[in-house]
Amino acid sequence: VLSCLVQIASVRRSLFNNAERAKFLSHLVDGVKRILVNPQCLPDPNNYHEFCRLLARLKSNYQLGELVKVENYPEVIRLIANFTVTSLQHWEFAPNSVHYLLSLWQRLAASVPYVKATEPHLLETYTPEVTKAYITSRLESVHVILRDGLEDPLDDAGLVQQQLDQLSTIGRCEYEKTCALLVQLFDQAAQSYQELLQSTNSSSADITVQEGRLTWLVYIIGAVIGGRVSFASTDEQDAMDGELVCRVLQLMNLTDSRLAQAGNERLELAMLSFFEQFRKIYIGDQVQKSSKVRRLTERP
């Protein structure tokens, strides 16, 4: 049934006039709400996957300005946000479905600067929750993957890049909150990592966990910096980018000192990804020389 709903939700919008389209979307959103309120079918992985595909279709076929006019929109976006956060926290259940959830939120976040409807979209409330859930769940997964000998998603470069591309847009929505979270988590992980390296009785497993957490954070920092859109950015946001850049550069000094002993290939690849994003956004002929990021990265 859910597979059929996905196909129905994919019907070309041009088949309807404006009134018919609004009515069709209202019924579709109401159906999503009913499933979220009574999710008995979702523990089945196939049903769960198809439902995630259905959610992604909400935004691929309809504009945010149309969605916010649906009567149940405030309750539905809250339920979708809760479902997304729970899904991200249980990352091991259906990892291949995460793409569709992130796709929905990426499209929603990308629409914010253009929405003209007077009804509130509420994304300033729920998008930071999704961003936080993604970041913290990736960090928490590192220990579990190492402990249980699971396949590490960091080894799937295509999957990581796909998710980071989606997060780059989601994370720039309410960027102050994203940046504050990343600074807090990065400082904690970097301090723990430095203390482990300085200790004479640290286990290699503890060091590997911290390196895994830092790898995710470096990838994510590169992604959110790469999500910068020039016309929507402010000096304050550039300064936030600078704070993040400084932390990665300081970490690089620490990891470089370990290269002769035991480098970490995944962390090195994350660094390369970060520098590629930084180069794309802040180094080049079109970049203003007065950028606050440039001034911050020149500090000692």
pLDDT value of position 200: 84
Range ranked top by mean pLDDT from 59-68, 253-262, 288-297: 59-68
Percentage of residues of the chain with pLDDT beyond 90: 67
Cα-Cα-Cα-Cα dihedral of 175, 179, 185, 187, to 10°? Answer: 180
| Backbone φ and ψ of 92, nearest 5° | -80, -10
pLDDT value of position 259: 65
Mean pLDDT for the stretch of residues 200-222 = 94
pLDDT band at 260 (very low <50, low <70, confident <90, very high): low
DSSP state of 287: S
pLDDT band at 202 (very low <50, low <70, confident <90, very high): confident
pTM metric for this prediction: 0.91
Q: Which residue has the higher pLDDT, 229 or 37?
A: 37
> Tens digits of per-residue pLDDT, 20-79?
889 999 999 999 999 999 998 899 999 999 999 999 998 988 899 999 999 999 999 999
pLDDT value of position 92: 86
> Tens digits of per-residue pLDDT, 84-130?
999 999 988 888 899 999 999 999 999 998 888 889 999 999 999 99
Q: How many CB atoms lie within 10 A of CB 60?
A: 12
Residue (of 17, 1, 134, 116) closest to 63 by Cα position: 116
Mapped onto helix, strand or coil, the DSSP state of residue 182 is helix
Least confident of 152-156, 177-181, 279-283: 279-283
Cα-Cα-Cα-Cα dihedral of 104, 37, 117, 58, to 10°? Answer: 30
Residue (of 75, 78, 97) closest to 88 by Cα position: 97
Mean pLDDT for the stretch of residues 256-277 = 85
Q: Is the Cα torsion angle 162, 165, 170, 171 positive or negative in sign?
A: positive
Round the average pLDDT of the chain to a whole number and report it: 90
Q: 84-92: long-range contacts at Cβ-Cβ below 8 A with a sequence spacing of 24 or more?
A: 84/130, 84/133, 85/129, 85/130, 85/133, 87/52, 88/130, 88/133, 88/134, 88/137, 89/133, 89/137, 91/137, 91/138, 91/141, 92/141, 92/144, 92/150
Q: How many CB atoms lie within 10 A of CB 236?
A: 11
Residues in the chain: 300
Mean pLDDT for the stretch of residues 10-15 = 82
pLDDT band at 290 (very low <50, low <70, confident <90, very high): very low
Mean pLDDT for the stretch of residues 141-169 = 94
Using the predicted structure, report yes or no on whether residue 293 has a pLDDT greater than 70.
Answer: no
